[in-house]
């Protein structure tokens, strides 16, 4: 019997373990999933918490309940992996031997890497909505906010869901309009990118939306220091952005145990991974899914979902001694909330920029265009996440690869 150990029981770990259980019967493989706690947060829901549009209990479920029968669970922090000995050492003193390892431990926030960020203003006037504690504290602060400068600042890339900070800006504009105080709030988006987003075509459209909503865009802003007494953020090139409330997306890195595991990670603790097969470049029996990989795709749940099929196929091929399938194309798909019950959708992969048209085909929902249908799609996604994506169900007509039908190739946006 083969021993498959999955590190992390978030989006990628859960869906890959469930898909593996469907693929291999219990005599063929023992599947063990490791996580440090039993609290699965639906992270896209964190965006809505500061605006009172979602509560913690709406977006949190036990991890174990998302797993199919016949999957073993170990609740413990991972201490380190011995990639030569094929063994995972847990912080509780136990160890797990494996034939195949799947790394699905995502990305962590490292706010301590930015000078002054974790000072006395942290969770008073400086917040992040990228975890539950921060999103809830920010909600309390926004409810008391009567006017002033609200700055949304991405410290550096890569981050999870690169559109989420923009969505936060759009929702903040809507939220303050609903409260009748929008003319008393200056909203600024300070990003290290040279535009609103990583992909030029979408960047142009999103910068237009920021402008339309009166949100100032500050580009190539690499935050070097937070001064919470002065309430300023200073970039490495000396520019200063003042704030009354700052909403920060801190630096991200891979899980710290990756750094403690000799040969497993790069300098940011992400795992070097083949872009197309999702086999690690560390050892052939290690595969990677989701935010933990260093592939040039977005760190997004949609990417993690689309990677699942390739990872499971390739684990089976690896165990059979067959050639791996290089079919993952970098497919990413993001609904972008723009406020006022509207959203727009972008769909792209390693080779194709977001294009206008419709998804997943000519009769689908509009791409690169605000609509109420897309907003409903964003809300529906939470149901899809718990009931289709995590259980590892296939959706007829919606495969992993980016669909070309419905897209207006060569169209200008
Ligand atoms: C605010 C926000 C909004 C987002 N919105 C969207 C969106 O609209 N659409 C979208 O597609 N994506 C979105 N995302 C991104 C999406 O949630 C992630 O990309 C996705 O969850 C990645 O899955 P993963 O399995 O790689 O990591 P995770 O789901 O984060 O799982 C990693 C798991 O590893 C565990 N772990 C880590 N280290 C250890 C350790 N040492 N020991 C034991 N366990 C460990 C963690 O506890 C965790 O359960 C958003 C993210 C955020 C923060």
Q: Which residues pair with 252 in a beta bridge?
A: 109
Per-residue model confidence (pLDDT) at position 410: 64
Kindly report the CA angle at 57 between 56 and 62, in degrees rounded to 5? 110
Consecutive H or E run containing 37: none
Instruction: State in Å: Cα 206 to ligand 1 middle.
Output: 24
Nearest residue to 218 (alpha-carbon basis) of 150, 153, 156: 153
Pocket of ligand 1, candidates 17, 248, 289, 301: which has the most ligand atoms within 8 Å of its Cβ, to mutate? 301
Q: Which residues contact 331 (CB under 8 A, 6 or more apart)?
A: 297, 302, 303, 306, 347, 348, 349, 400, 401, 402
Rounded Cα gap, residues 84 and 349, in angstroms: 34
Q: What are the tens digits of pLDDT across the range 89-139?
A: 999 999 999 999 999 999 999 999 999 999 999 999 999 999 999 999 999
Rounded Cα gap, residues 226 and 115, in angstroms: 6
Q: What are the tens digits of pLDDT across the range 273-289?
A: 999 999 999 999 999 99
Q: pTM (2 decimals)?
A: 0.96
Q: Which residue has the least CA distance to atom 3 on ligand 1?
A: 44
Q: For residue 27, is pLDDT > 70? A: yes
Instruction: State in Å: Cα 410 to ligand 1 middle.
Output: 34
Q: Which residues contact 70 (CB under 8 A, 6 or more apart)?
A: 21, 26, 31
Which alpha helices (H) appear in 281-320, and where do they start and end?
A: 301-320
Rounded Cα gap, residues 103 and 335, in angstroms: 26
Banded model confidence at residue 412, pLDDT cuts 50, 70, 90 = very low
Per-residue model confidence (pLDDT) at position 397: 72
Q: Which residue has the least CA distance to atom 19 on ligand 1?
A: 300
Q: Which residues contact 410 (CB under 8 A, 6 or more apart)?
A: none
Decide: 241 and 233 in contact? Cβ < 8 Å. yes
Q: What are the tens digits of pLDDT across the range 161-206?
A: 999 999 999 999 999 999 999 999 999 999 999 999 988 888 988 9
Which range, of 116-120, 385-389, 408-412, averages the lowest pLDDT?
A: 408-412
Pocket of ligand 1, candidates 6, 7, 32, 43: which has the most ligand atoms within 8 Å of its Cβ, to mutate? 43
Instruction: State in Å: Cα 121 to ligand 1 middle.
Output: 26
Residues in contact with ligand 1 (CB, 6 Å cut-off): 8-13, 34-36, 43-44, 46-47, 77-78, 104-106, 129-130, 160-161, 164, 255, 257, 290-292, 299-302, 304, 334
Phi, psi of 150 (to 5 degrees): -105, 120
Decide: 126 and 117 in contact? Cβ < 8 Å. yes
Rounded Cα gap, residues 107 and 130, in angstroms: 11
Ligand 1 atom nearest the C-alpha of 37 is 47
Domains and CATH numbers, the chain: 2-106+255-320 (3.50.50.60), 111-252 (3.50.50.60), 329-413 (no CATH)
Looking at every residue in the chain, the average pLDDT score rounds to: 95
Pocket of ligand 1, candidates 300, 305, 336: which has the most ligand atoms within 8 Å of its Cβ, to mutate? 300
- State the residue for tokens 């090139």: 237
Give mean pLDDT, residues 328-354: 94
């Amino acid at each position: 019997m083969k021993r498959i150990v999955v590190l992390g029981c978030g989006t990628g770990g859960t869906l890959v373990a469930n898909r593996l259980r469907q693929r291999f019967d219990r005599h063929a493989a023992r599947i063990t999933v490791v996580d440090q706690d039993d609290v699965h947060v639906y992270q896209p829901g964190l965006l809505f918490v500061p605006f009172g549009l979602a509560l913690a209990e709406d977006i949190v479920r036990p991890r174990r309940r998302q797993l199919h029968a016949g999957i073993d669970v170990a609740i413990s922090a991972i201490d380190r992996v011995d990639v030569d000995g094929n063994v995972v050492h847990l912080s509780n003193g136990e160890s797990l031997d494996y034939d195949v390892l799947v790394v699905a431990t995502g990305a962590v926030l490292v706010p301590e890497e930015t000078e002054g960020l974790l000072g006395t203003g942290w969770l008073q006037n400086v917040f992040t909505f990228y975890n539950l504690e921060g999103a809830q504290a920010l909600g309390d602060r926004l409810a008391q906010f009567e006017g002033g400068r609200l700055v949304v600042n991405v410290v550096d890339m890569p981050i999870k869901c690169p559109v989420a900070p923009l969505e936060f800006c759009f929702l903040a504009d809507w939220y303050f309009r609903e409260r009748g105080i929008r003319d008393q709030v200056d909203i600024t988006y300070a990003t290290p990118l040279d535009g609103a987003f990583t992909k030029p075509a979408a960047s142009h459209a999103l910068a237009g939306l920021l402008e339309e909503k009166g949100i100032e865009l500050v580009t190539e802003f690499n935050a070097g220091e937070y001064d919470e007494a002065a309430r300023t953020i200073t970039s490495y090139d000396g520019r200063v952005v003042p704030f009354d409330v700052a909403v920060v997306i801190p630096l991200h890195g891979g899980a710290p145990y990756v750094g403690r595991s000799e040969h497993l990670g790069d300098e940011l603790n992400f795992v070097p991974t083949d872009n197309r097969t999702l086999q690690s470049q560390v050892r052939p029996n290690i595969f990677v899914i989701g935010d933990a990989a260093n592939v040039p795709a977005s760190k997004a749940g949609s990417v993690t979902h689309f990677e699942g099929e390739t990872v499971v196929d390739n684990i089976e091929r690896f165990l059979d001694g067959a050639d791996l399938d290089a079919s993952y194309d970098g497919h990413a798909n993001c609904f972008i909330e723009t406020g006022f019950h509207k959203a727009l959708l972008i769909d792209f992969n390693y080779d194709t920029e977001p294009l206008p048209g419709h998804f997943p085909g000519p009769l689908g929902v509009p791409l690169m265009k605000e609509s109420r249908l897309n907003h409903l799609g964003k809300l529906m996604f939470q149901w899809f996440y718990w009931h289709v994506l995590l259980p590892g169900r296939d959706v007829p007509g919606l495969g992993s690869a980016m669909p070309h039908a419905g897209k207006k190739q060569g169209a200008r946006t």
